[in-house]
Amino acid sequence: MFAIFLSSKMDPFYQNIGSFPTVIFTFFLGVSLCFWLIAVLGLIDLDVVDIDVDLPDGNGSADGADANMSLAGILSRFGLHGVPLTIVISLLSWFGWIISYLAVHYILNPIASQGLVHYLLGLIIFLCSLYLASIPSAMIIRPLRKIFSDPYQDMAKHLTGQIAVVRTSRVDATFGEAFFNDGGAGLILKVRSMNDETFVKGDRVVLLEYVEAQNIFRVISEQEFNGVLKQSAHH
């Protein structure tokens, strides 16, 4: 059954998937397949690619804000937002691979199988394949947004004022997550510091304010929060 994959009849197939530009999608498709295999075994989370693509909240650095806005804006423009980035990459890789393979096999190779023209046309095919791949990807992502919608949005009022523990390497005005012990499995919350503070992993912070538009909690240190309470009590 598997002998066909080793036969000479498969040579054109291997040549196409290993040639530019299909090889780019082949690489990411291979990475995606490995990721999902590990995910099915329960050894990794869907959001393991910890890339923050939220719109900036106005307190971050200019470079970080511009980068976040750019990536978030691109994903939103093509309808690729609202789900883990791993799903977006997997879908774009799969559909892009199919489109690119067909374009290389039926258009690029008959015109120019090598040389500078091959790479110039290949670049055009790559960009077109990526754009066309975003269309079915967005259609699949649309109904998935409800599944990956904010799991604690309705609990925001109850969480405000509670203590959480920083779980990422840092929490600042543009990046970070914290773990809240709810007595069960716990919640992983996206948090942002106030007043340009920076916290490190293990720090205890207080969930001061929930920003629904950005799906984040603004936090301050437990010590600062206790100090505010003492001042209020004295007054």
| Span of 56-65, 70-79, 199-208 with lowest mean pLDDT | 56-65
pLDDT band at residue 25 under the 50/70/90 scheme: very high
pLDDT band at residue 59 under the 50/70/90 scheme: very low
DSSP conformational letter for 105: I
Give the number of other Cβ atoms within 10 Å of residue 41's Cβ.
Answer: 8
pTM: 0.61
- What the block records as the tokens of 226 is 């206790």
Give the number of other Cβ atoms within 10 Å of residue 146's Cβ.
Answer: 8
Assess whether pLDDT exceeds 60 at residue 50. Answer: no
Nearest to 207 by CA among 234, 170, 180: 180
C-beta of residue 28 within 8 angstroms of C-beta of residue 117: no
Assess whether pLDDT exceeds 90 at residue 20. Answer: yes
In tens, the pLDDT along 125-149 reads: 999 999 999 999 999 999 988 766 6
C-beta of residue 218 within 8 angstroms of C-beta of residue 228: no
Q: Where do the domains of the chain lie, and which CATH numbers do they carry?
A: 3-55+69-148 (no CATH), 152-233 (2.40.50.140)
- What the block records as the tokens of 137 is 């990807």
Q: How far apart are CA 70 and CA 75, in angstroms?
A: 9
Q: How far apart are CA 235 and CA 232, in angstroms?
A: 5
Average pLDDT of 112-124?
91
CB neighbour list of residue 18: distance below 8 Å, 6 or more residues apart? 26
Give the number of other Cβ atoms within 10 Å of residue 10's Cβ.
Answer: 11
Radius of gyration of the chain (CA): 23
DSSP conformational letter for 215: T
Nearest to 185 by CA among 212, 158, 151, 144: 151
Q: Which class for 200: exposed (0-12), middle (13-18), buried (19 or more C-beta within 10 A)?
A: exposed
Assess whether pLDDT exceeds 50 at residue 216. Answer: yes
In tens, the pLDDT along 165-211 reads: 999 889 998 888 899 998 877 888 889 998 889 999 999 999 999 88
- What the block records as the tokens of 75 is 């994903």
